[in-house]
Amino acid sequence: MQRTRSITVVEISERISVVMDDIVTQNVDAIVNAANNSLLGGGGVDGAIHRAAGPELLDECRKLGGCPTGEAKITRGYNLPAKWVIHTVGPVWKGGMHGEDKMLYRAYQSSLELAQQYEIQSVAFPGISIGAYAFPVERAARIAVRSVRDFLMDVDTINEVILVCYNQAAFDRYSAALKDTASYSK
C-alpha cells in the first residue's frame, strides 16, 4: 500500500491537509475515531485504533456510556503517538433523506469542539462514515471539508487538521473537495 501522499491547499492559515496514510501513526495531539455508538471497538478504523492503543482504551471507553450519532467523546491515546482519541459516531447511510448530511457535519463539529475544549492544537480525522456505514465518499468529503473549514474560520487555537485517507480513491475525493472549497472561497 502506498503511504504518505499529501496535498495541502493554502487557506485558513494552511491548517487543513489531506494525506493518504494510516490514522494510528499520525503524530498529532489527537486522532479521531470513527466509532460505533457503543464506543467498544469494531472493525475498520475503530478496530485499528483500539488494537494500536491497547486494552486500556477499551477499559476507558466502557466508562463513557456510549455516544449518540453526531456527537463525540474523548479518551487518552495510551499506546498511540497521539495523546488523545476523540471518538465520534457518524451516520449510517440510508439514502440521504434521513438527516445523514447534518449528522455527519455535526460529527466533525463535535470532534473539533472537544479539541478546542482540551486545547488540542493538531487533530487527524479518518473518513467518517465512508467505510462500513456506506456514506458516499465524494459527498462525505465535501461535508468533512466544509465542516472543518466552518469551524476553523471562528477558531484559531487549532493549528492543524489532517484528513487521513486509507486508499487512493478516498484521497482523490478528499483532495478534490479541499481544492474545490479553496477555489470558491476566494
C-alpha grid cell for residue 66?
Answer: 456510549
Decide: 128 and 88 in contact? Cβ < 8 Å: yes
- The answer to whether 180 is a known catalytic residue is no
Q: 92-144: per-residue pLDDT in tens?
A: 999 999 999 999 999 999 999 999 999 999 999 999 999 999 999 999 999 99
Residue 184 confidence (pLDDT) above 60: no
Q: In 121-167, which ranges are continuous DSSP H helix?
A: 137-154
Nearest to 108 by CA among 60, 71, 154: 71
Which is the catalytic residue, given 21, 46, 59, 180? 46
The SS3 call for residue 15 is coil
- Domains in the chain: boundaries: 5-184
At 8, the pLDDT band (50, 70, 90 cuts) reads very low
**Which CATH superfamily groups domain 5-184?**
Leucine Aminopeptidase, subunit E, domain 1 (3.40.220.10)
